[in-house]
Amino acid sequence: MVKEYFNENLAPGNWGYLFIILSFTLALLSLLSYIFIARLGDNHPSKKLWLIIARSSYIGHSLAVVSIFITLYYLIQTHQFQYNYVWSHSSTNLPSEYMISCFWEGQEGSFLLWTFWQSVLGIILICTAKKWESGVLIIIALAQVMLSSMLLGIETISLFGQSIHLGSLRIGSNPFALLRHAMPNIPLFQNANYIDLIKSGQLDGRGLNVLLQNYWMVIHPPVLFLGFASTIVPFAFAMAGIFRRDLTGWVKPALFWTALGSGLLGLGILMGGAWAYEALSFGGFWAWDPVENASLVPWLIMVSALHCMMIFNARKSALSLAFILCALTYILILYSTFLTRSGVLADSSVHSFTDLGLSGQLLLFLLLFVFLFLYLIIRNWKKIPKSQKEEKMYSREFWMFTGALLLCMSALHIITITSIPVFNKIAGLINDVIGNDLLKTNRSKPDNVIDVYHQLQIPFAIVIAILIGFGQYLRYITTTQSKFWKSLIIPTALSIVFSAVLWWLSGLRDWLFIILLFTSMFALFGNIGIVIGQLKTKFRLINGGAVAHIGFALILVGALISNAEKKAISINTENYNALPDANSKERRENKVLFKNTPVKMSDYTVTYKGDSTSGAHIYYLVEYKKFNENYTSVLEQFTLTPYAIFDKAQDKFTSASPSTKHYLSADIFTHISSSSRSDAPEYQVNYTKQEEIELTQNQKAIYDSIGLELLEVYKESTNEGKDTVYRLTAKVKVTDGPDVYYAEPKIIINGSLINSEEAEVKELGIKFRYMTVVNMGASHKFMVLKGNRPQREFITMKAIIFPMINLLWLGSILMVIGFMIAAYNRIKFKKSRITNA
């Protein structure tokens, strides 16, 4: 073993770890001081002093978090591969715009990002929460303590002079751990000067996952984690209400945060969908993957909480549910963190983090907040004011409440399917306790899982769309019936007309889809009416809720049509040997395209034009042309460049990314599923015969029915050291029928060393070796090698048309804007009693 390593530059790592310890201890100090302040009460004389301690330690904690971030970024930027995290998640050839993405490939980095956002929100709350500060910050500081501990990286503890290895109970994972600690037994670390290998570029990092090298992946994780972080605020306000024994006052200040958080989390999720659509090959924006569901479910609950809080704000009812849902949102965020990072989902999800051994700690984090909430809510349950009055049928709150409950049911359905692996674990534990195999432990998701989701989620969506459509035409308390029904006439009429048009345009067939189309259009026009109506009033208030509802309705329409009516146009009609199965005919979506051979797909003539390499990326040029009826003129033409990533080290294609043409009314998605490079070994030429041929300049020769003509020979000489290097290059024109190629074999003379550089025309399976100059340069001798003509270059691709997917993106943007307007209105009209913003 080497005792000492040289030039390891351990200082930044030590500083980084110091910042980790600081962030943890200062969060703990801040937590304890805030608990103390809460116990002292508002008017205690020493409250001011404690507040200074609490605030400064919280701010110190936040600065420490920022310092960890900067230190780690510095190490990644300067390629200090002696650090495990840097080696694992970056490499020297990583484009600078993706440096930041290294933070969210690893668990430590993404915990750091989450901690960072939560600390920022904490500081905003210190500045704005006023009397709620101590209560709110107790919860946030507690979460910060738990999150900071995720970076501690404590694997052994010393007790009574004995060191105990914690194993699976380890606390956190330190992003500044050294590579030689992570892999102590590899030969590299027998070299005391291994740092020199890094500096000389011989030891490179493992690099960033190519799927993350996409612009959406630069912005999606920060926004999603900001959304994650923002879910703690309503929960913190609810708990602050309990701490201050003010069980009703917390709702008003928390409403802003619930609206904002719903917008941010929604934006993060939708950006993830955009990334999946742009960069992943499954062809779609949503796959009901457990990782997607894990953020969708808290969002549904948060939106449900938002509606309950609005009901309470206006009508003083639904408070108990608001308490539960605010807490449940955050608890579900913790649960989904546990699901995606503990390795529980290993068999059921394509993309979840690998187990870092933190599952014990994550479970503790989750259970701590669950039991804290249960303890507080059960103790105070009786004191939560409950409305004694019956809600009327013609009141807004009744239907809002129904909608909120429906959202919860929808969330329950999704999380139940997603949690099947967790049920297996629990069933296994129960079996262990009772000592037999009573419960089934090998459940998997349903085999037709998408249908199972649709079966309930579509009816939910139908009912929710109806509620969204008429909800705001009702007033709180009660509404005049005739007025209400009259106000629905225009939206209903418009939605019938427009959904009939869309039905006709899209060709939807499933009756459930048609109903959903109609109710979504009803939601759309209903809320457009609301927005117009309120702009006409003297308040000139933009109704954020209605805008968000319009966005949601458009998301439903866009998702519905683009998904139900997506159509593969690359159907393979020849060459198949599929199993005798009725379904299999519909799945022939991959089609072979030979280079430069046009293929008709739907209205387009598609040609594979060749590929071009840039770094590890191989771009395939796929040209689409649309002709007029007689094929006399081109109406439209564009080229898509889906790419594959070629891993030189393994000589394999590792992943492919689609390319999509966006039109206003539809998208054409194009994905390469294989190519001659990856799946046709016969692409390599096997040279079987050779013959020496003498060529004279500008005289044609024929060899094996291939025309040869020596165009010119040019001479270069360069001085390398004391030797002069001569380079002779022959330019040979090679013709095969109408096809013309050029080959340039070379001779390189370096003193007594003579090398020749062969030139190949792969398409014809012919290769030239420049042998010698004869007759004083009048002619030249070549060795001509000939083999089989290789397989022509080809790709197999999938082309899918997604109709009206832009409605989905438009809806996404509008929905997020709507939430933001609603949040803004909460601040702007704080004083006035506006209840329907």
Partner 1 sequence: MKRAYVIGLVLIVFSIFILMSVLGKSSSYVSFNEAKENPTEKYHVIGKWAKEKGMVYNPLKDPNYFEFPLRDSVGNVVNVVLLDAKPQDFERAEKVVVVGQMKGNVFEASEILTKCPSKYNAATPTVKPVNL
By CB under 8 A, what part of segment 279-298 binds partner 1? 281
Which amino acid, residue 311? I
59 near partner 1 (CB under 8 A): no
The residues in 678-717 that bind partner 1, with binding defined as CB under 8 A, are 679-680
Residue from 653, 663, 726, 829 binding partner 1 (CB under 8 A):
653
* Minimal distance, residue 592 CB to partner 1, in Å: 5
Shortest distance in whole angstroms from residue 729 CB to partner 1: 24
Contacts of partner 1 in 121-150 (CB under 8 A) = none
Cβ of residue 341: shortest distance to partner 1, in angstroms? 12
- Distance of closest approach, residue 94 Cβ to partner 1, in angstroms: 13
**199 interacts with partner 1 by CB under 8 A:** no
Among the residue ranges 582-590, 769-777, 781-789, 802-810, the one whose residues contact partner 1 (CB under 8 A): 582-590
**Which of 48, 158, 162, 390 is the binder for partner 1 (CB under 8 A)?**
390
- Of the candidates 14, 416, 628, 724, which one interacts with partner 1 according to CB under 8 A? 416
Residue in 133, 391, 667, 793 binding partner 1, rule: CB under 8 A = 391
Q: Which of residues 500-559 bind partner 1 (CB under 8 A)?
A: none
Q: Which long-range contacts (CB under 8 A, 24 or more apart) does 515-520 make?
A: 515/462, 516/458, 516/461, 516/462, 516/465, 516/556, 516/560, 517/557, 517/560, 517/561, 519/461, 519/462, 519/463, 519/465, 519/466, 519/469, 520/461, 520/465, 520/553, 520/554, 520/556, 520/557, 520/560
Residue 101: DSSP 8-state: G
| Spatial contact of 396 and 476, defined as CB atoms under 8 Å apart | yes
Q: Examine residue 612 and tell whether it contacts partner 1 (CB under 8 A).
A: no
Kindly tell me which of 445 and 661 has the beta carbon lying closer to partner 1: 445
Answer for which of 95, 167, 184, 446 binds partner 1 (CB under 8 A) is 446
Q: Give the nearest distance from C-beta 177 to partner 1 in angstroms.
A: 14
DSSP class per residue in 43-74: T-TTHHHHHHHHHHHHHHHHHHHHHHHHHHHH
Q: Which of 163, 577, 632, 775 binds partner 1 (CB under 8 A)?
A: 577
Q: C-beta of 796: minimal distance to partner 1 in Å? A: 4
Mapping DSSP to helix (H, G, I), strand (E, B) and coil, where does residue 671 land?
strand
364 binds partner 1 (CB under 8 A): no
CB 221 within 8 A of CB 358: no
The 3-state DSSP class for residue 476 equals coil
C-alpha–C-alpha distance, residues 116 and 28, integer Å? 16
**Between 97 and 647, CB nearer to partner 1:** 647
Q: Which of 44, 181, 199, 440 binds partner 1 (CB under 8 A)?
A: 440
First to last CA, the chain: 69
Site string for partner 1, 756-795 (x = CB under 8 A): -----------------------------------x--x-
The first and second tokens of residue 837, run together, are 């913003």
* 2 binding partner 1? (CB under 8 A): no
Contacts of 126 (CB under 8 A, 6+ apart): 55, 58, 59, 133, 137
Partners of 643 in the β-ladder: 619, 657
- Could you tell me which of 176, 146, 170, 174 has the C-alpha nearest to residue 156? 170
Distance between alpha carbon 662 and the CA centroid of its chain, in Å? Answer: 20
Among 372-380, 595-603, 673-681, 730-738, the segment contacting partner 1 (CB under 8 A): 673-681
Q: Cβ closer to partner 1: 49 or 183?
A: 183
Please tell me whether residue 460 binds partner 1 under the rule CB under 8 A. no
Residue of 197, 370, 458, 749 interacting with partner 1 (CB under 8 A): 197
Nearer to partner 1, 600 or 662 (CB): 600
Report d(CA 275, CA 198) in Å as an integer: 34
The residues near 434 (Cβ < 8 Å, ≥ 6 apart) are: none
For residue 156, state whether it binds partner 1 (rule: CB under 8 A). no
Smallest Cα–Cα separation from 498: which of 567, 566, 564, 561? Answer: 561
| Least distance between partner 1 and beta carbon 353 (Å) | 8
Provide the token pair at 200: 């000389």
CB of 121 to partner 1, least distance (A): 30
Q: Check residue 412 for interaction with partner 1 (CB under 8 A).
A: yes
Residue 663, CB half-sphere, CA atoms under 13 Å: how many? Answer: 13
Told to check if 173 binds partner 1 by CB under 8 A, we report no
With contact defined as beta carbons under 8 Å apart, do 296 and 256 qualify? no
Site membership for partner 1, residue 341 (CB under 8 A): no
Q: Are 38 and 135 contacting, i.e. CB atoms less than 8 angstroms apart?
A: yes
* Cα gap 270→219, rounded to integer Å: 12
Q: Does 592 bind partner 1 (CB under 8 A)?
A: yes
- Site for partner 1 contains 578 (CB under 8 A): yes
Residue 207 interacting with partner 1 (CB under 8 A):
yes
Give the DSSP H/E element, type plus range, for residue 228: helix 215-230
Give the total of residues touching partner 1 (CB under 8 A). 76
Nearer to partner 1, 255 or 331 (CB): 331
Asked if residues 31 and 53 have their Cβ atoms less than 8 Å apart, the reply is no
CB of 566 to partner 1, least distance (A): 16
Cα of 487 vs its chain's centroid, Å? 42
Restricted to residues 64-103, the positions that interact with partner 1 (CB under 8 A) are 81, 87-88
Asked whether position 462 contacts partner 1 by CB under 8 A, the answer is no
* CA separation for the pair 215, 661 (Å, rounded): 17
SS3 letters across 765-800 = CEEEEEEEEEHHHCEEEEEEEEECCCCCCEEEEEEE
From the CB of 786, what's the least distance to partner 1, in Å?
23
Instruction: Provide CB contacts within 8 A for 513, sequence distance 6+.
Output: 458, 560, 564
On the CB side of 432, CA atoms within 13 Å amount to 6
Q: Which of 572, 605, 696, 697 binds partner 1 (CB under 8 A)?
A: 572
Paired sense of beta strands 746-750 and 739-743, if any: unpaired
Beta bridge partners of 787: 687
Least separation, in Å, of the C-beta of 447 and partner 1? 4
**Shortest CA distance to 359 belongs to which of 562, 592, 168?**
168
Interface pick for partner 1 out of 2, 49, 164, 346 (rule CB under 8 A):
346
Is 683 or 824 the residue whose CB approaches partner 1 more closely?
683
**From 61-69, 140-148, 346-354, 734-742, span contacting partner 1 (CB under 8 A):** 346-354
- Given 39, 181, 652, 700, the residue binding partner 1 (CB under 8 A): 652
Least CB distance from residue 653 to partner 1, whole Å?
6
Binding range to partner 1, per CB under 8 A, among 180-188, 297-305, 661-669, 772-780 = 180-188
Applying CB under 8 A, which of residues 2, 52, 186, 374 lies at the interface with partner 1? 186
Site for partner 1 in 223-242 (CB under 8 A): none
Interaction residues for partner 1, span 788-827 (CB under 8 A): 791, 794, 796, 798
Q: Does 629 bind partner 1 (CB under 8 A)?
A: no
One residue of 26, 121, 139, 203 binding partner 1 per CB under 8 A = 203
Rounded to a whole number of angstroms, the minimum distance from the CB of residue 714 to partner 1 is 28
Candidate residues 44, 443, 600, 830; the one interacting with partner 1 per rule CB under 8 A: 443
